Amino acid sequence: GVYTCAKCGHELFSSRAKYEHSSPWPAFTETIHQDSVAKREERPGALKVVSCGKCGNGLGHEFLNDRPKRGQSRF
């Protein structure tokens, strides 16, 4: 399946990129399209704020180098 923005319906993540994580929210390794999300650095080298690439609706964070494989980010 495809996860979309609750506000505008823009495609964000594929269920193929979803994986189990200890947080209560779904975790993804990548976006479905290059322009699916917009990112703004919050903490250099560790954390980015993520919003919908179309309408700007807040989606949470991208945790840099945080699993499931070394060097991979978690959304």
Q: Check pLDDT > 80 for residue 15.
A: yes
| Superfamily name and number for 2-74 | Peptide methionine sulfoxide reductase. (2.170.150.20)
How do residues 61-74 score in pLDDT, each as one tens digit? 988 877 767 777 88
Q: Check pLDDT > 80 for residue 43.
A: no
Where in the chain are the domains? 2-74
Contact call for residues 66 and 74 (beta carbons, < 8 A): yes
Q: Check pLDDT > 80 for residue 2.
A: yes
How confident is the model over 37-53, as a mean pLDDT?
88
